[in-house]
Chain A
Amino acid sequence: AQSVAQPEDQVNVAEGNPLTVKCTYSVSGNPYLFWYVQYPNRGLQFLLKYITGDNLVKGSYGFEAEFNKSQTSFHLKKPSALVSDSALYFCAVRDTSGGSYIPTFGRGTSLIVHP
């Protein structure tokens, strides 16, 4: 079975400061990992993904995420937060070892960037 955990319901950060949104996962085989963002009254938008290769993945809007196999984590980061980054962020995992190819999502983390 595949699962993903986002341990923080909410993350608060001041504009200009670095931000981290945490995600840990559990899969039987190797994971595909994703981050999505949801702005108010909108659907989910894809931010970035880890498939294989370099552990540091760069995505849209200046976001990046680091895959850490030993810690089974895929934390989302940005060096300098913007107020416009305030949104709901979802981590998702897909197990590549077979079974369901549909991703499992975390509960989401609300990011609030203060001016």
Chain B
Amino acid sequence: DGGITQSPKYLFRKEGQNVTLSCEQNLNHDAMYWYRQDPGQGLRLIYYSQIVNDFQKGDIAEGYSVSREKKESFPLTVTSAQKNPTAFYLCASSIRAGTYEQFFGPGTRLTVL
């Protein structure tokens, strides 16, 4: 089945540690995105990538980093510089950036202790 996978579903880390969240898609989509969601809030865009080896900052990129070395993969690293990293992280993809529907993964709930 085609889709987006994120792993793990739940992740716990100690404060001060960097952590990398996985996002893989087999939809052959060019564009991929990372969002953050806090309880009772909407989604906020962290980073997006329109094509391999290219990515752009979203609204809340500080304290995060990404890479796009392969079309299928868009990992997100939450660094120790992120002041409040505990949140629900969602990865999405679309055929191309722009007026195309986005397909979302199941999300990773990160808790920093």
Same assembly: no
Interface residues of B (CB under 8 A from A): none
